[in-house]
Structure 1
């Protein structure tokens, strides 16, 4: 099961925020994340807060989940008061949001628009498994106002998918991409994983070729992490599968950067590539420290330097909202030092880099340039490809 939530400080029962956090609301970009915690099967590598029907048990229903999500959207409106907070991005993740009817996902979006208001040209994304949608479903989703779909492709190689416990047929991916285009979506993204035990470099090349053949607007490619408590971790511990090899992961990252770049997809964050103008604006909000409200069990939020996280289990989440109580489990108020550390951690990962004004004057920038980890520059610190491979080490050098 997923790891435990952090302890934090007590969160107010009404969800209220300090006046200092609310002071700038509406002047900073605002996004809304909706966590849909349902999956048909649990993938062996996944430690996200998701549940199959068996794991949910009695008393929790997909059919009533949208009512609870809408209730939290209304809570957000109450907490934010009468401030004008146009929502610039919406992102439905999970889990598999498209296990819910398209009409239910439409209800969530309507509630966001009615309570907070969608900004003109808002980016509205949902994640989807390739075997969870068809053309008719995608057409209804597009009609409901969704503009972007992110498909969980992971790999194009059957034995790699099997090791990951992914159930879709890799041949399904180009079919649903074409269906989404036919339905009129503005942007399409593919999520990939590299470094699965047993995946060769040739396997990864096959996946990259298949992904780019579908002409996506955006690709996310993450190295496999063996998370404690997952089925994959137990298999590794028993010696059934090897741990991912760091040199192999580096080779596959370079292959991804070269292949995606040749296909017209440039990197804009260490693990994300897109066509010009197709960057995921919602995720950029996370990396830039903007405001966002996370709806759903286990969802995290950040507004004006206050971060909080909801109770994990859908039953506890439903009980709290049903009682008119905030679903927040705990929160923390970030001090200036913590916010600076997080800014360095996140912004240094971006193609735009970190302003030199945010870099400690004693940081060994010249040495990082000499080591080929950052680009020579006087105004921004930008990682080279080698620096992207060693981003964690660069951050350690930048922080006092």
Structure 2
């Protein structure tokens, strides 16, 4: 599990600098809730998650266990209201983890109700929860839908039992189709998450997963390359030689296959790792991250961003709950400089299908665009129209494009979306 980044001391009352406080309400506002609980820890996962065994039978302090978690999360909403005042109605709510649906559906609805009471919800609000396919059924999903949730994002990962076993995923592949059918029955939009590049996964196995996902006709699909993270069980198995280390060439082949199969099936890419059937099917919460909008991240290890100020909560549920009892649970924060905000805008904006206006990059970066077009990384027609839009090859080499457009690299933690 990665350490939190360094940063400046966060004020105990959570107060924002005056410049940020005065800018509240100028951009769309979202809420992220990090639910850190899992039944088991998957071998590849380095997210901020904990099993019941790791936390003890009740998790200790209020909020550190499943039974009282939402009570503490609502306390953090109270803190957010004190700090922010009255930003615009909440545009998006995203509940991630972990396995958020280990919490009772009624608790998730209660959290959403608390958001509504404090700020109101936009008329077209998007409300998503992640879910393990084994952790939901038609009854729990109906409670969520009737309580205001609009989307469910199911962690499918693969349709191949052997691949799931390598990842230590415990769900039955058949439960994905059952969960999709249940979500459809209660009127929820459906997103499926896939992982490619699992050690030992063949190109044909990845094709099977893609074709299985496409046949389920989700509204949205995400496909992420597996990263073997230090400190995980999977990394230890790779280090011992039990499993092969994923290669860039293999993952590139699998990304290209995904794009080749998804496009004729009616899915358009709108971000490097995300496809949707329609513009309305895009995950607007994640789009808010990529646009640099404002959001408050609730829960252990959650990251927040408001008007150029970023902060992150302490990671352990008990530590988060204890700090929250006396003020802000933030471990540290940073106030971004105009240059940092500009570089992040470029870094994130270039990942999007809509691309990046060439006027956003420096003169040196604009001079680099012609070379990027010649190398087949940037679409030439879009560049003529004044936008930097990645080709498929450019999506595979997006870091190269970013380095050409801005001076220096941005550290990965500086663009965290809060799903940590």
Q: TM-score range by the shorter chain?
A: over 0.9
2:161 counterpart of 1:161: no
State the match for 2:414 in structure 1.
none
CA RMSD between the two structures: 0.8
Distance across 1 between alignment mates of 2:403 and 2:313: 30
| 1:398 to 2:400 alignment | no
Asked whether the equivalents of residues 26 and 86 of structure 1 are also in contact (C-alpha less than 8 Å), the reply is no
Counterpart in 1 of 2:6? Answer: 7
Residues 244-274 of structure 1, C-alpha deviations (whole Å, 9 max, x = no match) = 0111101100010111111101000000000
Describe the shift of the 1:327–1:36 C-alpha distance in structure 2 as closer, same or farther (beyond 3 A): same
1:349 Cα deviation (Å)?
0.3
- Could you tell me whether the CA contact under 8 Å between 2:36 and 2:300 is conserved in 1? yes
Q: 2:199 aligns with which of 194, 197, 200?
A: 197
Cα distance in 1 for residues equivalent to 2:22 and 2:360: 23
Residue 329 (structure 2) aligns with: 327
Partner of 1:20: 19
Matches within 5 A, 1:97-136: 97-136=100-139
1:144 aligned residue: 147
Aligned 8 A contact 1:90 1:123 in 2? yes
Normalising to structure 1: TM-score of the pair?
0.98
In the other structure, the counterpart of 2:37 is 38
Native 8 Å contact 2:29 2:87 kept in 1: no
Q: d(CA) in 1 for partners of 2:141 and 2:231?
A: 35
2:298 to 295, 318, 333: 295
What are the equivalent positions in structure 2 for 1:64-103 lying under 5 Å apart? 64-81=68-85, 83-103=86-106
Q: CA deviation at 1:61?
A: 1.8
Instruction: In structure 2, list runs of 5 or more residues that go unmatched.
Output: 408-420
Q: Which residue of 2 aligns with 1:314?
A: 317
Shift of 1:172: 0.9
Gaps of 5+ in 1: none
**Contact 1:301–1:307 under 8 Å retained in 2:** yes
Query: What residue in structure 1 maps to residue 416 of structure 2?
Result: none
Q: How does 1:345-360 map to 2 (within 5 A)?
A: 345-360=347-362
Deviating 4+ runs (over 6 angstroms) = none
Cα deviations by residue, 1:115-166 (Å, 9 ceiling, x for unpaired): 1211111000000000000111111111111000000000000000000000
Indicate whether 1:248 and 2:250 are aligned.
yes
For 2:218 and 2:264, how far apart are their aligned partners in 1? 13
In the alignment, the residues of structure 1 paired with residue 241 and residue 394 of structure 2 have an alpha-carbon distance, to the nearest angstrom, of 33
In the alignment, does 2:354 pair up with 1:361? no
After superposition, the C-alpha distances for 1:256-314 in whole angstroms (9 at most, x for unaligned) are 01111111010000000001121100000001111010000000000000000001000
Q: Secondary structure of the equivalent of 2:31?
A: strand
Contact 1:106/1:141 (8 A) holds in 2: yes
What count of residue pairs does the alignment treat as equivalent?
396
- Helix, strand or coil: the match of 2:149? coil
CA contact (8 A) 1:190 1:220 kept: yes
Q: Give the Å deviation of 1:233.
A: 0.8
What TM-score, normalized by structure 2, do the two folds share?
A: 0.93
Indicate the residue corresponding to 2:417 in structure 1.
Answer: none
C-alpha distance in 2 between matches for 1:234 and 1:23: 48
Q: Distance in 1 between matches of 2:47 and 2:310?
A: 19
Q: Distance in 2 between matches of 1:94 and 1:85?
A: 26
Secondary structure at 2:364's aligned position in 1? coil
Which residue of structure 1 lines up, in the alignment, with residue 236 of structure 2?
234
Q: Are positions 1:282 and 2:289 aligned together?
A: no
Q: Which residue is equivalent to 1:389?
A: 396
Aligned counterparts of 2:3 and 2:184: Cα–Cα separation in 1: 39
What residue is the counterpart of 2:46 in the other structure? 47
Q: Distance in 1 between matches of 2:84 and 2:405?
A: 36
Secondary structure of 1:23's counterpart equals helix
